[in-house]
Amino acid sequence: MKQSWRLGAIGLVFAGLFGVLLLQLWRVQVTEAANYEAQAAQNQVRLVRTPAPRGDIVDVKGRLLAGTRPALAAVVDLGLVPEAAIPDLAQKLSAFLGLPASEIQQQLTEAGSADQIVLREDLDERQALFLVEHREDFPGVAVIPQPVRSYPEGDLAAQVLGYIGRPNKEDLERPDVKGTDFVGKAGVEDFYDEQLRGTEGLIKYQVDARRDVLASLGEIDPQPGSNVRLTIDADVQRQLQDSLDRGLRFARKLEMEERAKALADRPAAQRLAEAAAELAAEAEAAVATASADEDASDPQPPHELDPGTVLGPVWDRLPIDSEGVCVPVERHTVDIGETVVLSGRNPRTFRLLAVDGEGARRRATVEVAGEVIEVGDRDSFATNLRVVDLAPERIIVTATDKWCPVRTVGVVEDPRDGSIIAMGSQPTFDPSAFVDGLTSEEWEKLSSVAAFTNFAIQGQYAPASTFKAVSYMLAIEEGIYPLDRPIDDRTLGSGTEGDSVAAGDEEELKPLTSDLDKYNCTGSFRFRFNDGSSQVFRDWKRSGHGPLDLHEALEASCDLYFWEIALRIWNERDAEGGIGNENLFQEWARRFGFDQPTGIDLPFEAKGLIPDREWFRQEQAKGSGRVRADGTWVGGDLMNAVVGQGDVLVTPLQLANAYSAMVNGGTLWRPRVVEELYDQDGNVVDERPRQVLGTIDLEPASVESFRRDLGLVTNGPIGTARGAFADFGPNVEKVGGKTGTGEVIKAPRAEHEFQVDNAWFVGVAPIDDPRYVVVVVVERGGSGGKVAAPIAKQLLQFLMNGPDSITPLAPGEDAD
Amino acid sequence: MAMRTDEPARITLLQRERPLRPDLFLVIPYMMLSGLGLLMVYTASAPRLEALGIPPDRDLKRQAVFVVIGFIVFGVVSMIDMRTIRGWVPAIYGSSLVLLVLVLSPLGEKVKGAQRWIDIGPFQFQPAELAKLAVVLGLASLLASAGSGPLRWDHVARAIVLVAIPAGLIFLQPDLGTMLVFGFMAIVMLFTSGATWRQLAFLSVSGVIGAVGLFQVGAIKEYQITRLTAFLDPAADLQGARYNQYQSEIAIGSGGFTGKGLFNGSQTNLRFVPEQSADFIFTAVGEQLGFIGSALVLALFGIIVWRILVAAVNAKDRFGRLVAVGVASLIAFHVFVNIGMTVRLMPVTGLPLPFMSAGGTVFIAMSAALGLAHSVWLRRSPVPGERAIE
């Protein structure tokens, strides 16, 4: 037995192995037993979530705008699908869903194994029945109730309602949001998402390892979300959208008439010569296949502002619709071999011959009107055509028309408490489309015209002459009026110092002291700068308005009168005992809520801009390109600002809210679109309180005179909206307003023809006790009096005289 | 020793009266484990069978038949003298090789990617279990002839060849667990028969090189490695690669100290542990009988292994001792790897728990192995008194 130590060693090793087992068993069964017990308990319980119905959204009178209807959805619970079965399941689902199997497989593989994936929402009865009957063929697939959002009124108030969709990464960070939920993405659906969503219910099941349900262990019912009552009145909203829609077409027709007139006005020989030059330039552009680094979001015809650009042929090729009316963006997706006809007065054919190359370096060979050219991604070619995307087999091209009225925006506010009665912009969309699923084609088409954006709160525009109301209030409250007439050839320093009125003139001038004193509007005046250069400031009415007081200046929208107020402030900015406040105007503007969001209960509100010296300096330091690189804030900048031009930006809502404060006696309300939240039994759970943002100390007399003067704009002998309101019908004396024409493209090169203006109208009714403030903007529409005022007129007719009183849209006077 | 020579006559008399008295320390734990195994097989299989609409005691009855056969085999093998058995070794070794070839032929049945079974009527036969016995006997016979003193290299080489042939055939099934059993038994038996440290080191190194080589030429697939190493990775997919082990760990852990009681285990009743009555039978013990039950099972195995090693120490000849050591290592390794895998000490390799896991071949083969060890004990040397006669 001399080897017996070896057997002893083996015995020890075995004892050691058994000892390790015993220790591990002790750890698992005694030390950490509680942990495993919990896991065992959890193993047997399966929680099934029952979605809470989303709260309804109704208008101020309780009419349903967004509701839910019961529906069934097909979901797959990946915890129930063995990995090996996924390809087979994907294959079977492919036939059922009509999607490529590879796509489904990818989706199933990518999701975490415990995830529930929604395969298809809103199954029809046949589909649901098929799935239930063929359960064995679709392991892990279940049919569950999932209410579907519905918008019974289609696109009515769509931009206020917003839409819902699957949560993005950011949404998923909220504690109660899961991937299978729907969350608000815009509008009230977004802003009140938490209240609308409610709390989902749970059903607890005991299950075995195969997840077969053995028993139900209890149920928590879902808590439906709160319902939302808007301040929106569906009738007014419908009228607003109808008028904005008609108004947009109306503005486009007017634009086409203007183009025709401009063409006809020019001598034939000149047009021929220009056409030849244009064709030559176009051929050159085709060879060069213009720059690739232009900003894609704002496609521009390549030659638009080049000297020598000829309007005729370009206009001939700008996109038009079937009725011969301009369209801002014409978009085509063209497959290889496909031919599309590009619209325009001279239609051209476009054929995609080939796409080749890789990634960013793709090139396409296309044939336009018989000429074969090569273009790259994002190229502009052939006047206004542009490539926006090159995919392996297709090309997306747009034809843009920068002169074509692109959109109409409107707001109706109750100045008594800031409630928004109607709001929106045209073109708009139907939120149901998001529930049913948009094709990428539809999505691109709608997003290329920004249909999902509520321009009433997100659009920022120069308010133009509508802003004269601020200067009006300032003048009458502060007692700052112009001198009695303009001084020509004044010296105005380009720097900060030395700007002054020429001494020789001063004795002959009398500063006005009252709103009734007359100022002699001569139509223009000239500045001579210290460096010898000069600039002429011209009123929109070249011939001038003649003598007018403050009231008539507002009525006729005299630029000179308000410029003179700016000059008074500028020249006396350092004066002892005088004005002594360079920012007086900006302060007044900010008091009315400009330069800051109004705080309306909607997401994505823009804040606008009131420029001043400080802002100017900051922009210059940033090098943003928004301001001159040299020099400082000068009097000319202030002159621009008082007439709502230059760098002033406002949202249509800000303007409506400011006018509301002006006509209600000085109370600046926080605008709101939601009246109250109420539960399923109709009990109000959140009475959205009316909030005052600020009170502006206005003399009752000022308010009264302002209202009266607004009335003169529509009714007075020199009112800029007189023409537009001529066919208003009864109660015309009770409506007032203010026009505005905002230059979009500054410093037009050619007289008149290149001018692209935003048209504004702010309406107030009834002027003796205002209940409605209406703002209408026509983007690139032309003059406020001609285009915007008629649209606002229809709304005011509806509000004052009822739906039967509305007269057709007809162009008003071409007045600022 | 001194005492024995002092009183030879009395002891000789006693021994001769009942020369084949069974080792109750071996037999009773063996029967207790078998009985407990039957109970556990029933608790683990009844809910499954019931759910399928099959009489819940079907698997119990089937296993009971194997247990009875196993007991008989144990008794019969115990009676056979080791010298007789040694004469059968070439036949046993040869026929097990034939069966290992047959299982790879179309006669063998493929289940879950592995070809391990041969159908015999209603039963399935696993040649690998027989091969374990054949390897023990073959190695014992070979090494017994080596004589005492340090092992010669040519014996080591022949031992490698003897193990490599069945191991190669099993590799083709594939059955990694059984290959590991071969390796473990070979090392233990070589060590017992006096292998030098250099020889043992050489075997270990060549084993590692062989495994790496097989992996390099692609004979061992990536997924097999993954399965072997998944238990080390706490982040491994609990629904996939580690599902079995995860669920069995929960079952055992949730049993706690005293267990949930028979038929009260949720993991067992709700079928969370796959293959529970076969490879994962220990989870039924852990969940229902708790740490107390687990420790009892471990203790019974410990006693059996201890008794076999005692038999080895007292074996009459080198062959008997090596057989006993081989059987001890076979059982100990199965127990360690099987229970170890249920509590995440070892990877999942598919080695059953001796005497408890459901399965005919394994129960009968293990009973036969235990019978061999028992036979060694019954004819031990010195059988008290025998030396006196010599």
Q: Tell me which chain A residues have a C-beta less than 8 angstroms from the C-beta of B298.
A: 18, 21-22, 25
| Calpha distance A637→A644 (Å, rounded) | 11
**In angstroms, rounded to a whole number, what is the distance separating the alpha carbons of residues A334 and A339?**
7
Domain co-membership, B175 together with B248 = no
Query: Is the separation of the CB atoms in B86 and B382 below 8 Å?
Result: no
Chain B: closest CA distance from residue A33 (Å): 5
Please give the torsion angle defined by the CA atoms of residues A798, A800, A806 and A812, in that order, rounded to the nearest 10 degrees.
-110
**What's the confidence (pLDDT) of residue A163?**
92
Contacts of A700 (CB under 8 A, 6+ apart): A665
pLDDT tens per residue across span A274-293:
666 665 565 555 544 433 33
User: Do B266 and B317 belong together in one domain?
Assistant: yes
Q: Which residues of A touch B251 (CB under 8 A)?
A: 40
- The answer to whether A71-146 and A464-667+688-695 have equal CATH topology is no
Q: What part of A 185-224 touches B (C-beta under 8 Å)?
A: 207-210, 214
Reported as a pLDDT band with limits 50, 70 and 90, residue A217 is: confident
Q: Complex ipTM above 0.85?
A: yes
- What mean pLDDT is predicted for residues B322-339? 96
Section A788-816 average pLDDT? 94
Same domain, B31 and B75: yes
Q: How confident is the model at residue A138 (pLDDT cuts 50, 70, 90)?
A: confident
Give alpha helix (H) positions in A185-306: 187-191, 193-197, 234-265, 268-288
* CATH class, range A464-667+688-695: alpha beta
Range B15-22, long-range pairs (CB < 8 A, 24+ positions) = B15/B383, B15/B384, B15/B385, B15/B386, B16/B385, B19/B378, B19/B383, B20/B79, B20/B378, B21/B378, B22/B78, B22/B374, B22/B378
Q: What is the mean pLDDT of chain A?
A: 85
Assess whether B96 and B67 both reside in one domain.
no
Q: B271, A41: Cβ pair inside 8 Å?
A: no
The per-residue pLDDT for A311 is: 47
Which pLDDT value is given to residue A258? 82
Using a CB–CB cutoff of 8 Å, tell me whether A37 touches chain B: yes
* B313 contacts on A by Cβ (under 8 Å): 1, 4, 7
CA distance A169 to chain B (A): 24
Mean pLDDT of A158-176: 87
Q: Is the pLDDT of residue A488 over 80?
A: no
In the prediction, which pLDDT does B211 show? 80
Cβ within 8 Å, pair A29-B312: no
Residue bearing the bigger pLDDT, A345 or A407: A407
Chain A neighbors of B306, CB-CB under 8 A: 11
User: What are the chain A neighbours of B302 within 8 Å (beta carbons)?
Assistant: 15, 18
| B318 and B333 share one domain | yes
Quote the CA–CA distance of A660 and A592 in Å, as a whole number. 9
Residue A43 and residue B239: Cα distance in Å, rounded?
Answer: 12
B266:A26 CB<8 A: no
pLDDT of residue B70: 96
What distance in Å separates the CA atoms of residue A443 and residue A396, rounded to the nearest whole number? 14
Query: Which two three-digit tokens encode residue A815?
Result: 């007045």
- Decide if A816 contacts A761 (C-beta within 8 A): no
Q: How confident is the model at residue A748 (pLDDT cuts 50, 70, 90)?
A: very low
Contact A25 B191 (CB under 8 A): no
Contacting residues of A for B295, CB less than 8 Å apart = 22, 25
Residue A43 at interface with chain B, using a CB cutoff of 8 Å: yes
A23 touches B: beta carbon within 8 Å: no
- Any chain B CB within 8 A of the CB of A516? no
Query: Quick one: pLDDT at residue A235?
Result: 97
Q: Which of B176, B195, B220 is the last residue of a domain?
A: B220
In the stretch 617-656 of chain A, residues with CB closer than 8 A to chain B read none
Q: Is residue B6 part of a domain?
A: no
pLDDT recorded at residue A305: 31
Which of B191, B231, B252, B270 best tests the A interface by mutation, with the highest count of A CBs <10 A? B270
- Chain A residues in contact with B250 by the CB 8 A cut-off are 36, 39-40, 43
Q: Do B146 and B160 lie in a common domain?
A: yes
Instruction: List pLDDT tens digits, range A610-637.
Output: 999 999 999 999 988 888 888 889 888 9
CB-count burial class (<10 Å; 0-12, 13-18, 19+) for A581: middle
**Residue B182 buriedness (CB in 10 A; 0-12 / 13-18 / 19+):** buried
Instruction: Say if the Cβ atoms of B148 and A2 lie within 8 Å.
Output: yes
Same structural domain for residues B90 and B38? Answer: no
Q: Which residues of A touch B193 (CB under 8 A)?
A: 3
- Same structural domain, B161 and B66: no
Per-residue pLDDT averaged across A378-398, rounded? 81
| Banded model confidence at residue A507, pLDDT cuts 50, 70, 90 | low
Exposure of B8 by Cβ count < 10 A (0-12 exposed, 13-18 middle, 19+ buried)?
A: middle
Q: Which residues of B touch A1 (CB under 8 A)?
A: 313
Nearest CA in chain A to B237: A113
Nearest chain B Cα distance for residue A198, angstroms: 33
| B318-342 helix and B82-104 helix, angle to the nearest 10 degrees | 50
Question: Which residues of A are less than 8 Å from B273 in CB distance?
Answer: 209
Assigned domain for B3 exists: no
Task: Considering only the beta carbons, identify the residue of A7, A30, A32 that sits closest to B312.
Answer: A7
Q: What would the two tokens of residue A664 be?
A: 């209600």
B294 contacts in chain A (CB < 8 Å):
25, 29
Residue contact A24–B298, C-beta within 8 A: no
Higher per-residue confidence, B236 vs B154: B154
pLDDT in tens, B49-67: 887 778 889 999 999 999 9
Residues of chain B with Cβ-Cβ distance to A37 below 8 Å are: 253-254, 256
Query: What letter would DSSP give residue B95?
Result: H
Residues of A in contact with B336 (CB under 8 A): 17-18, 20-21
Residue of chain B minimizing CA distance to A32: B253
Q: Is the pLDDT of residue A264 over 80?
A: no
Instruction: Kindly list the distances between the CA atom of residue A281 and the CA atoms of A215, A286, A287, A663, B266, in Å, as whole numbers in the listed order.
Output: 80, 9, 10, 54, 84
Q: How many domains does chain B have?
A: 2
Residues 679-698 of A with CB under 8 A from B: none
* Residue with token string 């050691």: A16
Distance from CA of B18 to the nearest CA of A (A): 26
Q: In chain A, what is the greatest distance between 2 CA atoms, to the nearest angstrom? A: 139
Residues B359 and B243 in one domain: yes
Structure tokens at A772: 């409605």
Identify the band that residue A382 occupies on the pLDDT scale cut at 50, 70 and 90: low
Residue B240: what pLDDT?
59
For residue A249 the two structure tokens come to 């077409």
What's the gap in Å between the CA of B128 and the closest CA on chain A?
23
User: Does residue A310 surpass a pLDDT of 80?
Assistant: no
Q: What domain range is B164 assigned to?
A: 80-220
Indicate the fold that domain A71-146 takes in CATH: Penicillin-binding protein 2a (Domain 2) (3.90.1310)
Nearest to A10 among B51, B270, B309 (CB): B309
Write the pLDDT tens digit of every residue in B9-33: 444 434 444 456 899 999 999 999 9
Share of chain A above pLDDT 90, in %: 49
Name the residue ranges covered by the structural domains of chain A.
71-146, 239-400, 464-667+688-695
Residue finishing a domain among B188, B220, B252: B220
Most confident of A81-90, A363-372, A663-672, B113-122: A663-672
Contact A672, A418 (CB under 8 A): yes
Q: Tell me the pLDDT tens digit for each residue of A405-438.
A: 999 999 999 999 999 999 999 999 999 888 777 7
Q: Please determine, for residue A775, whether its predicted confidence score (pLDDT) is greater than 80.
A: yes
Q: CB B286 to CB A29 under 8 A?
A: yes
Q: Are both B44 and B118 inside the same structural domain?
A: no
Rounded Cα–Cα distance for residues A448 and A267 (Å): 37
Among candidates A240, A204, A208, which has minimal Cα distance to B276?
A: A208
Residue range A124-130: average pLDDT? 84
pLDDT for the residue numbered A290:
39
Say yes or no: B128 and B160 in one domain.
yes
* B247 lies in the same domain as B322: yes
Nearest CA in chain B to A208: B270
Of A729, A741, A737, the C-alpha closest to A712 is A737
What pLDDT was estimated at residue A495? 43
Q: Which range among A46-60, A426-440, A523-537 shows the weakest confidence by mean pLDDT?
A: A523-537
Smallest Cα distance from B251 to chain A, Å: 7
Tell whether A17 is within 8 A of chain B (Cβ). yes
Say if the Cβ atoms of B345 and A20 lie within 8 Å: yes
Lowest-confidence range among A384-388, A497-501, A528-532, A550-554? A497-501
